[in-house]
Amino acid sequence: MSKTLVCPCEDVSLADVEACLAAGYVDLEEVKRYTGFGTGPCQGKQCLLHVARLCGERTGEAQPFTARPPLSPVPLGLFAGKRREP
Amino acid sequence: MSGSPPDQGPRHLTVDGRRIGALPGQSVATALCAAGVDTFGRSVKYHRPRGPFCFAGQCGSCLVRIDGAPSVRSCLVEAAAGMIVERQNGFPSVDQDLLSAADLIFAGGMDHHTIGTATRAGSYVINEAVRLASGLGRLPDVATARAPQMLAAPETVRTDVVIVGGGPAGLAAATTLARGGLAVLLIEERRTLGGSLLASTEGVQRRDWLVAQLQSTTARVLTEATAIGWFGEDRAEPQDAPGLLAVATRERLLKIVARRYLYATGSYEQNLLFANNDRPGVVAWRGLLRLVHEEQFRPEGTLLVVGEYGHAAAAALTAAGLAVDRLPVDAELIAARGRTRVTGVDYRAGQGAPKQTRRGRWLVIAARPAPATELLRQHGCIVGWDDARGGLFVVADGEGRTDRPHVFACGDVCGLQSHELSLVAGRRSAMAIAASLARPVGSHE
């Protein structure tokens, strides 16, 4: 089917974001929580600006969301690497 | 350089059991594209076919399973002999995926807050169904996955200055700082230095020169190292900036404690908004050009080029001997054609104009990139918005100072700029950092 993807990682379409905005969730953090955009492997590198622009059209100000680590996908083992015995 | 000369011959890997060849220096993503693989995997919700877009580790579209580790960004991993690559997230297979029915059933989108919520039983059934069907890839094969087994204990690294990003700004800054006698650590996410310079042949020459300059200094360079976050809570030595920069390498987590942090993180490839903009074959211009210049990739068929930077992209691709068809500057994209990969594009030449179609195997998106501001936002630096400079950018003065002590920024992250300006900004930031550490860099710089 034909879809315009705003956030390909989480499969959030332009229609999804527009429905969210129409429902009254116009703050970027609200849109993130409602649609899940920006929470996939790229962590917003592909979608943040698209959605910030759409929100900015409603609120008058384009703002980013909070950038939380890890900013890129990493294996969990990275944080629990084996300690080497001396 | 030490050790034995690198292997120059082709190596073989398998993709879903099929043997394919890869040239030295090619990533897994490049090798798959060269072997004619269109669909790398299926998307998380609608199970739409996906293939690489950015070729730069900045999107989530090229994920595959490599040697038992799921959801690996295949554009960042060099293809190696004997590698076992599996395309992921298709049921029963990536090519014939029954779960892609979700794309038809939820043609108008999916609001998971309201599906099946009319009755308690309906809600239960939907929840269980979603739990079964959702997710991306399968858990790692513990016995064979390379990544979790090879990781060593995290290590703390201290340095005078850490520079994040090995593009023009970062390379220029690292050379200048190291010549000034400071301990410099340059980290770069990709396998090769150069960043956005790699999108043109002139840029590649400039990169080679900058890297040669850098190699004549004591600066330490780490490639395949990704800064994954700034952690400001952990108090370090009082004279240091309080906190640490977490950097993921292939071997371990590095906790970098520096006296100054310089972010030359550049900018991310961006897609345009049009129907089926996620089709395999829709690719970012700078990523594709880097593959052409650095990874011996020759895309077959016509390359349709569209977007604000279409002129530069088309010129560079044509110079590389590729078949380019550039859409008009004011083209408004309607939809990508093709079911499992791009076969063309529908567009209008300006508002209100009739729909037209062009045929091609690749749709090269030459859109305005977006400054990579995350790490500076984590530091709490002030950001601004200017559409002409790529949207969100970090506010810094002409010498790279942000509003946070110890934190500097230069290049595209401060608003899109030319390579020339990035080089100047890198040098000027380096001099400001050296001065702030009471070690001015010599005037011969």
- CB within 8 Å: B53 and A8: yes
Return the structure tokens found at B187.
């980290």
- Give the residue ranges of chain B where pLDDT is below 50: 1-3, 147, 443-445
Beta-carbon-side half-sphere exposure of residue A46 (alpha carbons within 13 Å): 32
- Work out the minimum CA distance from B435 to partner chain A, whole angstroms: 30
A81 contacts on B by Cβ (under 8 Å): 151-154, 252-253
The confidence score (pLDDT) of residue B50 equals 97
Of B153, B275, B374, the CB nearest to A71: B374
Who among A9, A68, A83 is closest to B153 (CB)? A83
A34 touches chain B (CB under 8 A): yes
Phi, psi for B424 (deg, rounded to 5): -65, -45
Structure tokens at B115: 């599906």
Predicted confidence at residue B344, as pLDDT, reads 98
CB pairs A-B closer than 8 Å: 161
What's the pLDDT at B42?
A: 96
Q: Can you give the pLDDT at residue B1?
A: 39
Contact A11 B58 (CB under 8 A): no
> Rounded distance, CA A53 to CA B150, Å?
42
- Segment B23-60, tens digit of pLDDT: 999 999 999 999 999 999 999 999 999 999 999 999 99
Token pair for B34? 């060269």
Instruction: Give this complex's ipTM.
Output: 0.94
- A50's tokens: 């698209």
pLDDT of residue B127: 85
**A45 in contact with chain B, both atoms CB, cutoff 8 A:** yes
pLDDT of the residue at B430: 98
Cβ B399 vs Cβ B176: under 8 Å: no
Name the token pair of A15.
């229609």
Only one residue has tokens 């990544």, namely: B147
- Over residues A30-85, the pLDDT tens digits come to 999 999 999 999 999 999 999 999 999 999 989 999 999 999 999 888 888 765 54
Residue of A45, A59, A61 for testing the chain B interface, max B β-carbons within 10 Å: A45
The pLDDT, as a whole number, for residue B263 is 98
What percent of chain B shows pLDDT beyond 70? 93
Q: Are B86 and B79 in contact (CB under 8 A)?
A: no
Q: Which residue on chain B is closest to A70 by alpha carbon?
A: B228
How much is the pLDDT for A76?
Answer: 84
Asked if A19 is an interface residue toward chain B (Cβ–Cβ < 8 A), one would say yes
| A11, A44, A81: residue with CB nearest B253 | A81
Mark yes or no for CB contact B276/A70 under 8 Å.
no
Binary contact (A72, B152; C-beta < 8 A): no
CB contact under 8 A, B370 and A78: no
Cβ contacts (< 8 Å) between B149 and chain A: which residues? 77
Mutation target among A78, A79, A83, A84 for the B interface, most CBs of B within 10 A? A78
Distances in Å between the alpha carbon of B239 and those of A52, B183, B235, B236, B246?
A: 38, 16, 11, 8, 19
Q: Which residues of B158-167 are buried (b: 16+ CB within 10 A; e: fewer)?
A: ebbbbbbbbb
pLDDT score recorded for residue B413: 98
Q: What's the pTM?
A: 0.93
DSSP β-ladder status, B253-263 and B407-409: parallel
